[in-house]
Amino acid sequence: MQQESLKQYTTVLSIAGFDGSGGAGIQADLKTFAALGCYGLSVITDITVQNTRRVFESAALPASLVTRQLEVLVEDITINAVKIGMVSSSATVEAIAETLQNRLSAPVILDTVLKSSSGTDLASSASKKSIVKELFPLAALVTPNLPEAAELAGSTHLPVEKSDIEKTAEKLRNMGASAVLIKGGHMTGNYCEDYLLSSEGGEWFSSPRVRTQNTHGTGCTLSSAIAAYSAKGYDLHEAVRKGRQFTVEALQAGAGLILGHGAGPLHHFYRYRDDDRPRGTRPME
């Protein structure tokens, strides 16, 4: 094959925790990248012991080992976008920030993973402060859910009214984030509404709520999908729109499937395995 005919992969790097059940973390990120036509790379920050029911325990890898994982990838491979998920250690947050700032210029999508869906703390108090101080200024987009947004903003109540969510997003932007997507999955009602605030202004995204218990890894999937579309060159608002659409369709496709005895995963590869999609579901209009 002639050298001039070769094309580079579109690559996305996930810096996140390991989930042995495959529904969230590194595993969900890599599945999302692959489903959207990107080549996934990974740096593991934490090892979790979990299944579909809950997280039983977790352990952070040494910051030096995380740094080394990242360094050897950066020196060899062109990285088009980065997604950051679970980082439980402040030392690791600082190490990641230093390497990204000095050696990468790709857009960074920061998913502020503070707790598991079952309520287990996944970030120390020091790590939360470091995430705001070190990673917010480097991120093209920060994607907290409602509880995470409230905690990061120092609020004592959950913002559920649209006006409160908009004020919380503005506060997070003032804390150093270039853009904020507050995910409204914890809101009630028949629609799931997310709010994006960037330098271009605010935009609400709305879609019918998918009735399913298989929601494990939804936040990981959404942030990874946004990172994948960012790697492909889409602007932020369009990357968010397309990332949400992929996530909703993956939720729909996984609603009728069973894995384990708790909250199962999304079906990331529904576009390629139509025979596995539950009967009667269809993509969003």
Name the residues annotated as catalytic: 183, 215, 217-220
Q: What angle (nearest 5°) sits at the alpha carbon of residue 219, between those of residues 84 and 76? A: 30
> In sequence order, what are the residues at sequence separation of 6 or more whose Cβ sits closer than 8 angstroms to the Cβ of residue 154?
none
Structure tokens belonging to residue 86: 């679970």
The answer to whether 86 and 122 are in contact (CB under 8 A) is yes
Relative to beta strand 55-60, strand 39-50 is: antiparallel
Q: How many CB atoms lie within 10 A of CB 59?
A: 11
Strand 201-208 relative to strand 191-198: parallel, antiparallel, unpaired? Answer: antiparallel
The type of residue at 214 is: N
Burial track 117-138 (b if 16+ CB lie within 10 A, e otherwise): beeeebbbeebbebbbebbbeb
Q: CB under 8 Å to 71, separation ≥6 — which residues?
A: 99, 103
The angle that helices 90-103 and 63-74 make with each other, rounded to 10 degrees, is 20
3 state SS for 131-195 = HHHHHHHHCCEECCEHHHHHHHHCCCCCCCCHHHHHHHHHHHHHCCCCCEEEECCCCCCCEEEEE
